[in-house]
Amino acid sequence: MKNHAIRSILLILITILVPISLVIGAVRIVLNPWYPKLEYRTPWIPADPYGFTLAERDHYAQLAIDYLNTDNDISFLMDLRFPAGQMAPPRSCMEMSDCNLLYNNRELQHMIDVKYVLGIVLPLGYAFIIALVLFGLWARKGGWWGDYLTALKRGGWLMISILLSLVVLVVGLFDWFFTKFHTVFFSSGTWQFYTSDTLIRLFPERFWMDTFIVVGGIAALGGIALIIIGNKWNRT
**Residue 81 β-bridge partners:** 101
Which is more confident, 226 or 193?
A: 226
Which amino acid is present at 183? T
Local confidence band at 233 (pLDDT 50, 70, 90 cut-offs): confident
Long-range contacts of 132-136 (CB under 8 A, 24+ apart): 132/14, 132/17, 132/18, 132/21, 135/10, 135/14
Top-confidence residue, 175 or 153: 153
Domains contained in the chain, number: 1
C-beta neighbour count of 143 within 10 angstroms: 8
Average pLDDT in the 16-45 region?
A: 95
Domain range holding 11?
Answer: 2-235
Radius of gyration of the chain (CA): 21
- 48 phi/psi in degrees, rounded to 5: -70, 120
> How high does pLDDT run on average in the chain?
87
Mean pLDDT confidence for 213-231: 92
pLDDT in tens, 102-161: 999 889 999 999 999 999 999 999 999 999 999 999 999 988 899 999 999 999 999 999
Alpha-carbon distance of 206 to 150, in angstroms, equals 37
Higher-scoring residue by pLDDT: 122, 187: 122
The pLDDT score that the predictor gives to residue 1 is 45
Return the higher-pLDDT residue of 177 and 56: 56
pLDDT of res. 88: 79
DSSP letter for 168, please. I
Q: What percent of the chain has pLDDT over 90?
A: 61
Compute the distance between CA of residue 67 and CA of residue 17 in angstroms, rounded to an integer: 28
Q: What is the mean pLDDT of residues 163-178?
A: 70
Decide which of 166 and 118 is more confident. 118
87 and 102 Cβ atoms separated by less than 8 Å? no
> Confidence class of residue 166 from pLDDT cuts 50, 70 and 90?
confident
pLDDT digits (tens, 9 = 90+) for 52-93: 999 999 999 999 999 999 999 999 999 899 988 788 787 777
Question: What percentage of the chain has pLDDT greater than the value 70?
Answer: 87
Whether 179 has a pLDDT exceeding 70, the answer reads no
> pLDDT-based confidence at 236, cuts 50/70/90?
low
**Bridge partner list, 101:** 81
Give me the pLDDT at residue 111, please: 93
In this predicted structure, what is the pLDDT of residue 17?
A: 96
